[in-house]
Amino acid sequence: MTINQFRLKKLMTDFVIINIILNGAFYLINFRKHTGTVTFGTISTDLMIGLTILAVACPAAGFLNIPKALNKSTLDVTNRKKSFFNRMFPKKNSMRSLVLTVFTLAFSFVFFLVLPNALGVNTINHYIGFSIKVITAIIMSGIVGYVVIELTMDDYQDKQITLLKESY
């Protein structure tokens, strides 16, 4: 498996698909008895709760699961160019998770709540509400997942290089 295949597989299975299912299910559960149209105000609570869960759980789970997957794989990342995220993020995973949580909530709030209201889009049907929820989950879990995978691969690369130096 190549690095890109590993990256894509982990991104899809560990982040995107899980978040589509969870956020879609939350929406369906919360609005199963609601009839007629909904407003952005109506779905904003559901959207922000789902995104908060995504923002907290994705990085935390990723920083735990991705290193395990890398240790089980046969990927050689010693010659891989480090991501630019490595310079931007703190070294501790707890702080990385906090930064990603704040980013996710701020980005989501602006682009999926403030922007539609500013454009005057207020009344929507359930299909649009559900679509907004799922699209938001896809976009944000993709961004967060990619950053988590890259940071974890950078850490793994450092570990592999250190082990190689010690063996000489």
Identify whether 167 is part of a domain: no
Q: How many domains does the chain have?
A: 1
Helical (H) or strand (E) element with 107: helix 93-109
- Amino acid (one-letter) located at 18: I
Alpha-carbon distance 39 to 121, whole Å? 9
Q: What percentage of residues in the chain have a pLDDT greater than 90?
A: 10
Q: Is the pTM of this model over 0.85?
A: no
Domain-embedded: residue 99: yes
The string of pLDDT tens digits covering residues 89-135 is 999 988 998 898 888 888 877 776 777 777 776 777 777 777 877 88
Asked if the structure places residue 166 within a domain, the reply is no
- Is 168 domain-assigned? no
In this structure, is residue 101 part of a structural domain? yes
Does residue 75 form part of some domain? yes
Can you give the residue range of the structural domain that contains 151? 3-161
Structure tokens at 90: 């703190």
